[in-house]
Amino acid sequence: MSLKRRLTIVDGSTEARRMEATALKLAFASTDMKHVDQHFGSAESFVIYAVDMEESRMLEVIQFGQLKQDGNEDKLVDKINALEGCIAVYSQAVGSSAVAKLKAEGIQPVKVAAGAEISDMLESVQEELRSGPATWLARAIEAQKPTDPNRFAEMEREGWDE
């Protein structure tokens, strides 16, 4: 089933624009927007947050409708495309083929206990950002940094020592 509905929260404030541009985007498989209560492959909806060391902000809610856990790989394409820009997706479970496809797109699948509170996970990520991120989070942060087009010219100016 393809994307059914997408609600994007628009906030024109300077702080909101900064968050959207610099914060990490995390997705949560949730029907109530408060708890992780869905399997990735059959998730009816995702809620997407921007998070940095100081705050978190809901950005979007994406709805797909009711789906079965039937092994049909076609439904994964729309879900993964909908998560563009996210560094991680939190769900109760995720199949091995979905894990491979998510990782290929730079999205870390994170399995959490049924009913885990989204607010607790956001706070946990913020604490991790403040104290030093885990390996997967550090890689995701590094991957989001823009590539400097002058990096090779700068290396040439420095010279090479062997």
What is the pLDDT at residue 120? 97
Query: pLDDT higher for 125 or 14?
Result: 125
Two structure tokens written together for 161: 């020592």
Q: Does residue 162 carry a pLDDT above 70?
A: no
Say if residues 46 and 83 touch (Cβ distance below 8 Å): yes
DSSP helix/strand/coil, 149:
coil
Q: Could you identify the residue written with the tokens 């985007």?
A: 25
Question: Residue 63, class by beta-carbon neighbours within 10 Å (0-12 exposed, 13-18 middle, 19+ buried)?
Answer: middle
Residues 6+ apart with CB under 8 A from 159: none
pLDDT in tens, 58-117: 999 999 876 565 555 567 888 999 999 999 999 999 999 999 999 999 999 999 999 999
Instruction: Give the per-residue pLDDT at 134.
Output: 79
Rounded CA separation 44/59 (Å): 17
Residue 1 pLDDT more than 60? Answer: no
The mean pLDDT value of the chain amounts to: 85
3-state secondary structure of 156: helix
24 close to 125: Cβ distance less than 8 angstroms:
yes
DSSP 8-state symbol, 38: -
DSSP conformation letters of 29-74: E-SSSSEE---TTT-SEEEEEEE-SS-EEEEEEEE------S--TH
Q: Which helix (H) or strand (E) holds 108?
A: strand 108-111
Q: Exposed/middle/buried for 40, CB within 10 Å: 0-12, 13-18, 19+?
A: buried
Q: What is the pLDDT of residue 74?
A: 66
List pLDDT tens digits, range 100-156. 999 999 999 999 999 999 999 999 999 999 998 878 888 887 877 766 667 667 767
